[in-house]
C-alpha cells in the first residue's frame, strides 16, 4: 500500500516504486512484440504467399509486407501458412482487404485493431451542445 503521508522527502501522496520488485519476466512480457525470434518458413511457402499478394496488389514491396504479416500471424496462431493461403485464395478480391485486416487482428492487442472504424455513440445531451 502506498505511503499516503506527506513527508519532507516525499512531498506528494504517491508512494515510491520498489524497483527490486520488478521481475525480469514482467519486462520480457511487456516487450514481447519487440524481442520475439523471427518466424521462419521454407522459401516455397514464402514465394507462394508473396506471389499471391503480388497478383492482388501489383506491387512487390507491399506484397512482401503483406506476406510477412500473414506468415507471422499464421505461425503465431498455430496455423499452417499454406492453409491460410488457400483460404485467402477462396475469397473474392473485393472482400480481401477486410478479411486480411480481420486475420491480422488475431495477433494484435484489442486497443490497436487494423481497419476498424470506431464510431462511439454520443450522449444526446452532449451532442445537442456541440455546434454543427
Render pLDDT for 41-88 as a digit per residue (tens, 0 to 9).
Answer: 889 999 999 999 999 998 999 999 999 989 988 988 889 999 999 999
Phi-psi region of 40 (alpha: psi -120 to 50; beta: other; left: phi over 0): beta
Report CA torsion sign: 17, 20, 23, 29.
positive
In this predicted structure, what is the pLDDT of residue 127? 78
| Residues whose CB is less than 8 angstroms from the CB of residue 14 and which lie 6 or more positions away in sequence, other chains included | 2
Give residue 49's domain range.
43-107
Average pLDDT over residues 21-45: 67
The structural domain count of the chain equals 1
CA distance 120 to 102: 20
Query: What pTM, to 2 d.p., does this model score?
Result: 0.60
Mind listing the pLDDT tens digit for each residue in 7-27? 555 555 555 555 565 555 556
Query: Which of 81 and 121 is assigned the larger pLDDT?
Result: 81
> Regarding predicted confidence, which is higher, 111 or 1?
111
Evaluate whether residue 72 is within a structural domain. Answer: yes
The one-character DSSP state at 92 is -
pLDDT digits (tens, 9 = 90+) for 83-107: 999 999 999 988 998 889 889 888 7
Contact assessment for residue 55 and residue 66, using Cβ atoms and an 8 Å cutoff: no
Does residue 18 form part of some domain?
A: no
For residues 53 and 64, give the distance between their C-alpha atoms in angstroms, rounded to a whole number: 8
52 assigned to some structural domain? yes
Q: Is residue 17 part of a domain?
A: no
Amino acid at each position: 500500500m502506498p505511503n499516503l503521508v506527506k513527508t519532507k522527502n516525499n512531498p506528494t501522496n504517491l508512494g515510491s516504486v520498489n524497483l527490486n520488485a520488478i521481475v525480469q519476466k514482467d519486462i520480457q512480457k511487456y516487450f514481447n512484440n519487440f524481442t520475439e525470434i523471427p518466424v521462419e518458413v521454407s522459401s516455397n511457402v514464402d514465394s507462394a504467399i508473396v506471389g499471391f499478394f503480388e497478383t492482388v496488389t501489383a506491387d512487390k514491396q507491399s506484397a512482401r509486407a503483406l506476406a510477412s504479416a500473414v506468415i507471422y500471424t499464421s505461425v503465431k496462431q498455430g496455423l499452417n501458412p499454406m492453409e491460410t493461403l488457400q483460404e485467402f485464395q477462396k475469397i473474392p478480391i473485393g472482400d480481401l482487404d477486410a478479411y486480411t485486416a480481420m486475420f491480422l487482428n488475431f495477433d494484435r492487442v484489442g486497443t490497436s485493431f487494423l481497419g476498424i472504424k470506431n464510431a462511439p455513440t454520443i450522449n444526446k445531451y452532449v451532442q445537442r451542445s456541440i455546434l454543427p
